[in-house]
Structure 1
Amino acid sequence: MNLNNIVTFYPAEREIFRPRSRISTPDWAEKYREVKVGPAQGRWRNEFTPYTAKPMETMDLPWVRKVFLNWAPQTGKSAVAQNFMMKCIDVNPGPMMYLMADEKGSRRIVRRQIIPTLRGTPRIARLMSPRADDTSLEYIRFRNGADLMMGWATSPAILASESVQFIFYDEPGKYPDFAGKESDPFSLGDVRTNWYPYTSKQIYFSTPNLDGDAWDRILTDEPDETWHYEARCPHCGKLQEMKFRRISWGGYKDPRTVIRKSSARYECVSCKWEWDDNLRNHAVRHGKWVCENPKERPVAVAFNPLPSWYSPVVSISKAAAAYLRARNDPLKRQAFITQHKCQAFKETIKDVNEEAVLILRDLDISPHIVPAGHVALTSGIDMQKRSFWYVVRAWTPDLSSHLVDYGQLITWQDLELLLFTTRYPVAGSDQTLPIWRAGLDTGGGETVDGEWSRTEEAYMWLRRHAAKRVVFGTKGASRPQNNRVRLSVIDKMARGNRPIPGGLELRILDVAAFKTLIHWRMTRRTGESQRFSLHNDTGLDYARQILAEELRRDRRGRQRWVQVRGDNHLLDCEVIAAACADNQWSPSLAMIAGAMPADDSGDETTKI
């Protein structure tokens, strides 16, 4: 043997030449995947979440290009996508992109989930490059030729930069409609795979969001096949799709009691046997996916939906408690529908006319009178070029409210008189109440003389009265936000970026959410919480402004509040007044009312 002819390969070269094993993703996960966090730490077990195996097998099919997982949180959808991603890194290395909603979320997920998952799985950790700059929050390079790029849906430059064989869409239900000024992120991502027409894979995994949004339209238009999961009754063996209407919780009305007692049960559709969490887990473990519309060699396959009560880590009682909380809060209702039922949320507003608004008048309560049992007054002020529209609303601890006063003021002095001097008598007593909290819309527009903007004028006035802690600046959010009320500090120190004590603060309001909330409150009946009532002299002028906007769909299918008639100033005022009493404005009315002593003496100091 001529030793001079021996070729020595480096470890990375030997890795590239290594024959690729033909192993399915479920088998690869059970053999190599290590779970580092959660209730099932250790080697991955398909039996713990049995509904994850079929989607992983589908991702392996050579004719399938797209797989959609529309699952509730804590069901394992991200783990399914990451299992397939790691299996591809190991046995089918190629260029990959992991796409998230925004840059901040991308960096957090890469740092806290993706990199620890890769390093925590020895089969993948050995493939990671030893060079420090090959593993970053934007890019991970592997020794066998695989590359994993990180991207976010708001950056067209990233989406248009590379061709990829595999692309993973993490929570596409939260993506914006457009990536910058270009096309939508899904179309841009789809184009990135054009170089791999026969081997590309696009994996979408998300919880639903809004009816008619981009993710909802994709689930409707793109899949060739749609599968749903059916559990098998441990008693009679009947396969069934688990529906929330078959869940009961022992008649308890307090969600805390339902969770504490673990009282919720699922009733079998056939034998009426009631499943607790353990029996539910048994039923799911022996269930299977059922195809609703079988096709030969489908290209796009959806596994949709998978509600939260299928998950072994989500108690049936938790889903029931979420439903109970949702009955008295539209925002929680949206969370229950999307996060537990795993359905796109469709906002429905009943058609209301002026007569339906005015029927909310309490004929026994005159203007400027606070009904008994109401503990605080809030005011919403809509600033115009030459005047201020306002409402004053009284609140009970359960967020039922009554219109005490409304109208139009001309000068800043008139506004100061309303907010800092006026006290309203309480019916049936000698007490009076001042305005506890007010919000002033700081919207733009020039002053009458045109020398400066009304926003600047409002800021100066708010700073002058900041120490009173009665009136605060507000501004409508440009897009839906997670919280109805969000604090934004305007006046900050030059060093350290800390708030200046007594400086200007703004509350950013999700105006659309509050308008929906107000319309919902107008449907509440006697004996229910969050009722909405008016004084007996409320006129058509008020009703017309409250109904000046309607919830309509735009060309993309999204629901938006649209002004359809006349002035809407009083509707804006009601939005601000509701925000002032909202639980997300800290300290909240409910928090302060809960700390109040019982009012046995009639002393007005027991009121806010």
Structure 2
Amino acid sequence: MSAAPCLVAPSAPSDKVEVVEVDRALVHALGLPVPELDQDRKNFFLRFSFSSTVRAAFRAPVGMRPAAWAEKYFIVTEGSRPGPWRNENAPYLAGIMDAWAEPYVRDVTFMAPPQVGKSKIGEILVGYISDRDPSLTQYVVPDETSAAELVDERLRPMFEDSPRLSKLLTGAPKDLTAKRFKLRTMRLMLVWAGSVARLAAKAAKYQIRDEVDKYPEAPSKKETSTEALLDKRQRTFRWDRKIYRDSSPTKESGPIYLAFSAASARFYFHVRCPLCGHMQRMYFTDPDGRPCVCWPKEEAEADRIEDGLLAWYECSRCAGHWDDAKRDRAVSRGEWREEKTGMELFAYLRLHKPRRIAFHISALYSMFVSLSETAAAFLRSKGNKLALRDFCNGYLAEPWKDYAVERQEQAILALRDDRPRGLVPGGGVVSCLLASVDTQQDHFIYRIRAFGWGGDSTTWGIREGRVETFEDVERVLWQDEYKDPDGKAYPVRLTIMDSQGTRTAEVYEFCRKHVGKIFAFKGEQQMAVPHTFTVIDHFPNSPRKIPGGLKLLRGNVTYFKSLLSGKLSINPADPGAFLLHAETTEDYARQMCAEYYDDADGVWLCPDHKANHFWDCEVYCLIAADLLGVRHWKKPEDKPAAAAVHHSPSTSRGSRSGSRPVPSAIARRRG
């Protein structure tokens, strides 16, 4: 205390003086003299005051998130825009910083290309921690040279140039080195990934792991991985530890991609078109294979495109052209959305409270990288494997993987026969029509396929395409007629509809509306059986119950994709062939070649930006056939029409529709 306590008459406290009422026992305990006139009093008023240092220590911190703190106190000391930090220069960074500060979040991963500000987040968090919650902190970089550059070029200027942070410096030059970075409030431990001694030196509540894909896989032959050693440094801070890691990706086995894939929730930045207002994620080429970054068809010289700023971005909704200025406007009005649900970042975080979250962004979002630079980098990468890898890592922020196309497009097109689209084969060779629907954010991809009789039956593609609404799906599946050359109509017996993604609740409602004709489907890479059912009681992300529940079909997509791959290799003239109609397009063939089998993990994978919707649809059709047990169906013997009256319609196997009753669920199950 700065002044000795004394007894006073009742009065109000001031900004620097406290007045409290105390009893006689406390007065005697403090050894304070009691005036003779007050000897009989039981309570007294005590006046005292604290020094400014003590007051500052006890003062509750004012709530402030990292993004707001950065705009108020952080100074950029290098780069093209030095001066006070402005979130508007990189709007996508603010959400990541504030998400890191959520109390339940423990691990944040940011996979991004160079020059989008990912390392700047680490610097801001160091300043924020030292000012708001001084605690043991490790800043991990690839090597000792990087640590020295970090201190000399970024951290020391950051603290010295900020009026707020400069108050935390001790004033001793020896306290601002790569081996010793000491503040008045805390010590920042600079760690380089190649040093076992530095990695294992001390525990830390906070860790900033910068450019993790540049770390050595292990700091020495006797040690485990660098990431595993770092994880052990936080064991004693079980309940409040936090990690922020960033890097440009290298390969799928690299630390940043592994951490990104392991996150409980992954977020992508969606921007708002300045022309039509549509929210969308930015792609170089979208999942349907449509180019999004475009340039004049007559121009193929990379330097001319880059120097003349000839490239533009095409809106997925209105097809409007964005130059760099419009792109920047679109980004400034953007927001992070969760990959599967499409929910806004903080709405998702506060509902689900995930511990491990990850963010991905490409150079397309950065105001410091023109669209024309990205287009030129792509053109320069053609025919150059190393340049293509650099484009993939350094612009798209995607891991590089060498893969071979398992099924050539021309081999797929060789499966075409001479039937027009929509015509069912005649002669009684077809047992039923089955269908599938792949659900996208604003449209549907469908496939209708005919199946023969028995286990080695040939199958025929009847119709495939894209529709926009659920009403269109109803029309294609159950209103349009599919006939053979004799005019015999075949109804669609069963449909499998993808229910994952952002429209799960809508798909559930649609399947409930058409119960018995369609199943909502969820694919899984590993299952003990080919397929099974799970009863769903509630709509996703909602307390609302599904009346009567919903049977969700779950299927082992790894098993059925391998089955499909084998069928595609059967000669078109052999039994069991997988045939297509004569109007099958090259786009269909491309999508059937999109996925490849990863021997290391034993799963099928699809490279980013390759459309695989028809491939998925064909997989779903095979699941439908297996669910119905089509492989067990026998072709009925030809009988005179008069004989049919002796058979009950429920048991007849010679009906004109070519279909047969659905066996029990138990009989249909496989394995």
Sort the TM-score into its range (normalised by shorter chain). Answer: 0.5 to 0.7
Aligned with residue 207 of structure 2, among 154, 167, 170:
167
Question: Do the aligned partners of residues 8 and 328 (structure 1) sit closer, same or farther apart at CA in structure 2, a change above 3 Å counting?
Answer: same
1:239 aligns with 2:279: yes
Which amino acid in structure 2 is aligned with residue 229 of structure 1? F
Aligned-residue offset at 1:553: 8.3
Q: Is 2:260–2:359's contact at 8 Å kept on the other side of the alignment?
A: no
Task: Give 1:89's match in structure 2, choosing from 119, 130, 134.
Answer: 130
Equivalences for residues 234-273 of structure 1 within 5 A? 234-245=274-285, 246-251=292-297, 252-273=299-320
Partner AA of 1:44 in structure 2: W
Q: 8 Å contact 2:284–2:293 — kept in the other structure?
A: yes
Note the residue ranges of structure 2 that are not aligned, 5 or more in a row.
6-47, 286-291, 341-347, 407-597, 604-671
RMSD of the TM alignment (CA)? 2.7
* Residue 315 of structure 1 pairs with residue 315 of structure 2: no
Q: CA deviation at 1:19?
A: 3.7
Provide the residue aligned with 2:268 in structure 1. 228
Tell me what 2:64 maps to: 23
TM-score scaled to structure 2, two decimals?
0.50
Give the letter for the 1:186 counterpart: E
2:355 to 299, 309, 312: 299
Give the aligned residue type for 1:302.
A
**Which AA in structure 1 matches 2:274?**
P
Residue matched to 1:45: 86
1:115 pairs with 2:170: no
- Report percent identity of matched pairs: 29
Distance 1:244 1:3 in 2: 68
Q: 1:105 deviation in Å? A: 2.0
CA distance in 2, matches of 1:553, 1:113: 44
Which residue matches 2:403? 348
Residues in 2 aligned to 1:2 and 1:165: alpha-carbon distance in whole angstroms:
34
Aligned positions of 1:404-419 closer than 5 A: none
Aligned equivalents of 2:376, 2:388: Cα separation in 1: 12
Question: Which residue type is aligned with residue 160 of structure 2?
Answer: R
What CA distance in whole angstroms lies between the structure 2 residues aligned with 1:231 and 1:78? 22
CA contact (8 A) 2:109 2:259 kept: no
Task: Read off the aligned partner of 1:110 and give its amino acid letter.
Answer: V
1:257-313 CA-partner distances (Å, limit 9, x unpaired): 111100010000010000000000000001111112456111011012x00010011
- For residues 3 and 231 of structure 2, the distance between their equivalents in structure 1, rounded to whole angstroms, comes to 51
Give the superposition deviation at 1:120.
2.2
Please, which runs of 5 or more residues in structure 1 have no aligned partner?
352-551, 558-608
Q: How many residues align?
A: 354
Q: 1:14 to 1:195 in 2, by over 3 A?
A: farther
Q: Tell me if structure 2 keeps the 8 A contact 1:59–1:84.
A: no
Match of 1:466 in 2: none
Give the CA deviation at 1:213.
2.3
Q: Give the 3 Å change call, closer, same or farther, for CA 10–292 of structure 1 in structure 2.
A: same
Provide the rounded CA distance (Å) in 2 between the counterparts of 1:2 and 1:118: 31
AA of the residue aligned to 1:248: C
2:322 to 275, 291, 300: 275
Q: CA deviation at 1:39?
A: 3.1
Report the Cα distance in structure 2 between the residues aligned to 1:266 and 1:42, rounded to whole angstroms. Answer: 31
**Conserved 8 A contact 2:363-2:374:** yes
- CA deviation after TM superposition for structure 1 residue 25, in Å: 0.6
* Corresponding position of 1:33: 74
- Equivalent residue runs for 1:327-406 within 5 Å: 327-348=382-403
Q: Distance in 2 between matches of 1:215 and 1:28?
A: 27
Q: Aligned AA for 2:324? A: D
Q: 2:244 aligns with which of 203, 211, 214?
A: 203
Q: Does the Cα contact within 8 Å between 1:95 and 1:165 map onto a contact in 2?
A: yes
Displacement of 1:153 in angstroms is: 1.1
- Whether the aligned pair in 2 keeps the contact of 1:20 and 1:92 (CA below 8 Å) is no
**C-alpha distance 554-116 of structure 1, shift in aligned 2 (>3 A):** farther
The letter for the 2-side match of 1:297 is K
Q: Which one-letter code corresponds to 2:174 in the other structure?
A: D
Measured in 1, the distance between the counterparts of 2:137 and 2:308 equals 47
Asked if the contact 1:15/1:143 (under 8 Å) is kept, the reply is no
8 Å contact 1:21–1:91 — kept in the other structure? no
Structure 1 window deviating more from structure 2 (90-99 vs 207-216): it is: 207-216
Question: What code does the residue aligned with 1:346 have?
Answer: K
The residue that corresponds to 2:344 in the other structure is: none
Q: Which residue of 2 aligns with 1:71?
A: 112
Q: Which residue number corresponds to residue 625 of structure 2?
A: none
Q: Give distance in 2, aligned partners of 1:2 and 1:262.
A: 66
1:231-269 CA distance string (max 9 Å, x none): 110011011111102001223222111111000100000
* 1:148 aligned to which of 185, 188, 191: 188
So what's the TM-score if we normalise by structure 1? 0.55
Look up the match of 1:496: none
Shift of 1:142: 1.1
Sort the Cα spacing of 1:261 and 1:115 in 2 relative to 1 into closer, same or farther, 3 A. Answer: same
Residues 554/128 of structure 1: CA separation in 2 closer, same or farther (3 Å cut): farther
> 1:8 deviation in Å?
8.9
CA offsets, 1:96-142, max 9 Å, x none? 11001112222222222222222222211110111221111122111
Q: Which segment is superposed worse, 97-106 or 39-48?
A: 39-48
Match of 1:285 in 2: 332
TM-aligned CA deviation for residue 18 of structure 1:
4.9
